[in-house]
């Protein structure tokens, strides 16, 4: 069996400089490097981008495996005491549910970088990932392996705009991303929700979509209407209650023996701060010297 067949149609063409399958271990078939190994010796991939597995679809696959076996080998890489899965987690889970003790695998030598790319691309080719899982895979490629969006797009055979749009969805609140992962919201709904800047509004509107079955077009109209509504301008407000200002002014008046005026800081309508002021009255140079002495500023 060739590497291309083991990876799925076209997958090997999308990964540049991927090593060839390793030579078969003892007992393997020298023709094609496909081995049969114990299911318990295969550990899940830490690079698996897929997080959500449909229970009903998994059960259907398990029934098919019971009847026909695993028709396509899993892609793995060798560990010191077993194998790490690169691609085929649905088949591995379903094989376990079907009661299989051994499963066919195709052994490859792959770096962490290549293992992530292979796992991501295999799922993308099968259209097994939702858009949030897809975006999380892209983020790992960007953060862990320092790939640009252009480089990611080339490796997964996608337009750069598709990669960029998927990554933007990771800025949505966790609750909204969970709705997308569970299939309650489409990627189209999620992209429209990005038009709102307040997370609480995004969550509330997502729940509205699910509850009332709004289409993407319906949601676009709602969002456009919300963005047209002028927001009430926030009035400037003192940062200190007037009663406390009066209390402090009285205490300072008693201490200095003269009038003291306090203007507290203010929070303006745009959120910025306006400075406060503290003014102490004096009526002569001698009066000023007296106040300075109380402040501990008399020259010695």
Residues annotated as catalytic are: 89
Q: Hey, is 261 helix, strand or coil?
A: strand
DSSP 184: S
Q: Hey, is 21 helix, strand or coil?
A: strand
DSSP 113: H
Interacting residues of 102 by C-beta distance below 8 A, sequence separation 6+? 36, 37, 38, 39
For the chain, helix, strand, coil in percent to 5 are 50, 15, 35
What does the block give as tokens for 69?
A: 């076996």
As a whole number of angstroms, the distance between CA 199 and CA 174 comes to 10
As a whole number of angstroms, the distance between CA 175 and CA 184 comes to 11
What does the block give as tokens for 163?
A: 């990669």
Question: Dihedrals φ, ψ of 8, to 5°?
Answer: 100, 155
Tell me if 125 sits within 8 A of 10, measured CB to CB: yes
What does the block give as tokens for 222?
A: 């709602």
DSSP 196: -
Spell out the long-range contacts of 52-57 with Cβ–Cβ below 8 A and sequence spacing 24 or more: 52/130, 52/133, 52/181, 52/182, 53/89, 53/90, 53/93, 57/90
């Amino acid at each position: 069996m060739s590497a291309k067949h083991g990876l799925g149609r076209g997958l090997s063409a999308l990964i540049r400089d991927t090593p060839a399958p390793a030579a078969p271990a003892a007992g393997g078939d020298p023709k094609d490097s496909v081995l049969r190994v114990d299911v318990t010796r295969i550990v899940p991939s830490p690079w698996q981008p897929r997080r959500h597995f449909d229970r009903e679809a998994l059960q259907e696959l398990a029934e098919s495996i019971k009847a026909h076996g695993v028709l396509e080998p899993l892609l793995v890489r060798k560990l010191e005491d077993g194998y790490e899965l690169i691609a085929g987690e649905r088949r591995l889970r379903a094989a376990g549910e079907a009661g299989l003790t051994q499963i066919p695998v195709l052994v490859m030598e792959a770096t962490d970088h290549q293992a992530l790319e292979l796992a991501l691309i295999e799922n993308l080719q099968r259209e097994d990932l939702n858009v949030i899982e897809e975006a999380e895979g892209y983020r790992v490629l960007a953060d862990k392996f320092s790939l640009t969006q252009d480089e990611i797009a080339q490796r997964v055979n996608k337009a750069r705009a598709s990669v960029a749009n998927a990554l933007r969805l990771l800025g949505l609140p966790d609750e909204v991303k969970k709705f997308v992962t569970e299939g309650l919201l489409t990627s189209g709904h999620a992209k429209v929700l990005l038009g709102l800047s307040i997370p609480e509004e995004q969550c509330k509107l997502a729940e509205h979509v699910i509850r009332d079955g709004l289409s993407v077009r319906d949601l676009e109209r709602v969002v456009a209407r919300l963005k047209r509504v002028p927001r009430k301008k926030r009035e400037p407000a003192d940062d200190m209650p007037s009663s406390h200002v009066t209390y402090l002014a009285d205490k300072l008046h008693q201490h200095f023996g003269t009038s003291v005026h306090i203007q507290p800081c203010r929070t303006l309508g745009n959120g910025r701060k306006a400075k406060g002021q503290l003014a102490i009255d004096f009526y002569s140079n001698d009066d000023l010297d007296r106040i300075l002495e109380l402040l501990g500023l008399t020259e010695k």
